[in-house]
Amino acid sequence: GKYWSTSFMKCHPELKVKQSQVLEQCRASALNPTAIKGFYNMLNKLITEFNIPPEKFYNMDEKGVQLGVGGSVTIIID
């Protein structure tokens, strides 16, 4: 429903809400295009091998994979 996140947090008091930190400019400029391409090649191989449908994908990227410099967002952490 509309307030599912509030209910979820009430059921999981061990979790906390905080603002993410923006990726530093030096880290953003140091991204390795070869490593990123390798990651997505491996991901594509696994998706094909295990026949994973698109509805099973969730956005759970790490800052090191983030392209460019993004803004701060609210996140749930343990």
CA distances (Å), 74 to each of 35, 36, 49, 53, 77, in order? 28, 25, 34, 28, 10
pTM: 0.41
Q: List the chain domain ranges.
A: 25-58
Q: Does residue 35 or residue 66 have the better pLDDT?
A: 35
What pLDDT, on the 0 to 100 scale, is given for residue 59? 61
pLDDT exceeds cutoff 70 at 76? yes
Supply the pLDDT for residue 47. Answer: 95
> CB of 22 within 8 A of CB of 70?
yes
> What digits encode the pLDDT tens for the residues 6-47?
899 999 999 998 887 766 666 666 678 887 898 899 999 999
DSSP assignment string, 46-66: HHHHTT--GGG------GGG-
